[in-house]
């Protein structure tokens, strides 16, 4: 494979576009609609000047891509990582549009990022980057325009800084300007674990379909951050056997099942996951190919590719991460009979509870955790059923079915606005 082909395979935007094209073809989508929905509505690039603790001035590159406002304000994460690129943000923004449409919530998609290494920055430096980024974005963010949420390298503290910067500028407290913020600042119950919980809900649905029991189901999770660790905790508590976990430094495997509560405690104490005693060590990529029933990639994009897809042993793939599988790997997984629950369905629990948070902020009335979890379950289960119905009706794999469902919904809204195919 030439370098360009490899690069193309690993590009998040290219993978999104390949799936979009296939779904649009199956739907016989009008060419004008297709051109409009494939490309982002708006892209903003900023260069953020920040005074470092040393007194030196550093400049960070930041992006915000708004893919679609057809079904409502844009909604999307904010990522802090050294490898962030506009291409990646563009692809993830489009995926957010499809994700919101799959779970039928009234948002379009967006995504943002800042090229930086959050682990190497002080809290003060992170705060200054965040506030300056928010100030640069003021014209395009806000409860009715575009609502950021945490993603890799950002957290509820980041969202609290953005909310405060936004509120200072508009001169009134605007809790609905971000989601994934602390509960004491207008955040929602259940939001920290929402993505992991959503992954478990759709995995449960797949198990039902195959007549499997949780207790007899071995799970491997790549990524032990917000999504991976919450999924591990919830699935362990629900009876699943978690046989492998990994983070960026390496992984652990035990076919009899890992002691998840002890491992969570170990990591909470700031110790490295791979130094957890008494378990077999394994590489963070090798773990994807280990023997298990459910594989839950919850780390980063493009980890399952045409190079390793045929060696995946899991029968069910639950995509906790965004875009963990490249488009060329889709066909290989399908041929090998892997039941794929695609990212725009599997990890939509996060944006669904973000929607609940936005609704609660706008109402000024907050729901109990059990209310949030119950509503989340209803939405995830019905989205799972909708996707499987599309897969059956159109004789396509689950990913293309999810794209078809999403594109159908967005195109229908576009028609209602007066654009006729």
Please give the C-alpha separations between residue 3 and each of 7, 10, 85, 169, 262, in angstroms, as whole numbers: 6, 11, 18, 46, 43
Calpha distance 112→298 (Å, rounded): 19
Give the tokens for residue 349: 């629990």
Give the nearest residue (CB) to ligand NAD.
Answer: 225
Kindly state whether residue 227 participates in binding ligand NAD, applying the rule CB under 6 A: yes
Q: In this complex, which beta carbon is closest to ligand NAD, that of residue 148 or of residue 350? A: 350
Using the contact rule CB under 6 A, the part of the chain among 11-19, 31-39, 298-306, 361-369 near ligand NAD is 298-306
Instruction: Round to the nearest angstrom and report the end-to-end CA distance of the chain.
Output: 39
Residues 267-286 that bind ligand NAD (CB under 6 A): 284
Minimum distance of ligand NAD from residue 420's CB (angstroms):
34
Calpha distance 225→153 (Å, rounded): 9
Count interface residues toward ligand NAD (CB under 6 A). 24
What's the CA dihedral at 385, 102, 349, 221 to 10 degrees?
A: 80
Backbone φ and ψ for 282, nearest 5 degrees, come out as -150, 150
- Binding to ligand NAD by CB under 6 A, coded x per residue (else -) over 23-52, reads ------------------------------
Kindly state whether residue 299 participates in binding ligand NAD, applying the rule CB under 6 A: yes
Kindly state whether residue 153 participates in binding ligand NAD, applying the rule CB under 6 A: yes
Minimum distance of ligand NAD from residue 12's CB (angstroms):
10
Kindly state whether residue 186 participates in binding ligand NAD, applying the rule CB under 6 A: no
Which position among 62, 91, 320, 328 is part of the footprint of ligand NAD (CB under 6 A)? 320
Kindly state whether residue 321 participates in binding ligand NAD, applying the rule CB under 6 A: yes
CA neighbours within 13 Å on the CB side: how many for 390? 22
Closest Cα partner for 174 from 361, 394, 365, 398? Answer: 361
Which position among 177, 195, 217, 380 is part of the footprint of ligand NAD (CB under 6 A)? 195
Q: What Rg do the C-alpha atoms of the chain give, in angstroms?
A: 21
Kindly state whether residue 289 participates in binding ligand NAD, applying the rule CB under 6 A: no
Neighbours of 236 (CB within 10 A): 19
Binding positions for ligand NAD, rule: CB under 6 A:
150-153, 195, 222-228, 246-248, 284, 298-300, 320-322, 347, 350
């Amino acid at each position: 494979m030439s370098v360009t082909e490899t690069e193309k395979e690993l590009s998040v935007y290219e993978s999104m576009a390949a799936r979009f094209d296939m779904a649009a073809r199956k739907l016989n989508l009008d060419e004008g609609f297709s051109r409009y929905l494939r490309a982002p509505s708006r892209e903003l690039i900023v260069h953020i000047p920040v005074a470092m603790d040393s007194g030196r001035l550093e400049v960070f590159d930041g992006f915000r891509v708004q893919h679609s406002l057809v079904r409502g304000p844009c909604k999307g994460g904010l990522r802090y990582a050294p490898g962030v690129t506009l291409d990646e943000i563009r692809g993830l923004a489009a995926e957010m549009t499809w994700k919101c449409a799959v779970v039928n919530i009234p948002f379009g998609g967006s995504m943002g990022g800042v090229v930086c290494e959050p682990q190497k920055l002080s809290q003060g430096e992170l705060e200054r980057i965040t506030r300056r980024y928010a100030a640069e974005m003021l014209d395009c963010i806000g409860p009715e325009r575009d609502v950021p949420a945490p993603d890799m390298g950002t957290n509820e503290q980041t969202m609290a800084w953005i909310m405060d910067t936004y509120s200072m500028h508009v001169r009134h407290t605007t809790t609905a300007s971000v989601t994934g913020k602390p509960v004491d600042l207008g955040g929602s119950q259940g939001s920290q674990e929402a993505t992991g919980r959503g992954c478990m809900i759709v995995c449960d649905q797949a198990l039902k379909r195959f007549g499997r029991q949780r207790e007899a189901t071995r799970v491997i999770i790549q990524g032990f951050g917000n999504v991976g660790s919450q999924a591990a905790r919830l699935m362990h508590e629900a009876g699943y056997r978690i046989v492998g976990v990994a983070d960026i430094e390496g992984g652990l495997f035990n076919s009899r099942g890992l002691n998840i509560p002890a491992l969570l405690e170990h990591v909470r104490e700031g110790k490295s996951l791979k130094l957890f005693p008494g378990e077999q060590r394994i590489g963070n990529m090798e773990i994807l190919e280990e023997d298990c029933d459910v594989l839950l990639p919850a780390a980063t994009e493009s980890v399952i590719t045409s190079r390793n897809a045929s060696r995946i042993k899991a029968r069910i793939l639950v995509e906790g991460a965004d875009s963990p599988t490249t488009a060329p790997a889709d066909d290989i997984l399908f041929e090998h009979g892997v039941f794929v629950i695609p990212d725009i369905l599997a990890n939509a629990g996060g944006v669904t509870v973000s929607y609940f948070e936005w609704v609660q902020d706008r109402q000024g009335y907050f729901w109990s955790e059990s209310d949030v979890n119950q509503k989340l379950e209803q939405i995830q289960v019905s989205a799972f059923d909708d996707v499987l119905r599309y897969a059956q009706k159109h004789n396509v794999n689950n990913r293309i079915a999810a794209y078809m469902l999403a594109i159908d919904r967005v195109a229908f809204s576009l028609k209602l606005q007066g654009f006729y195919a």
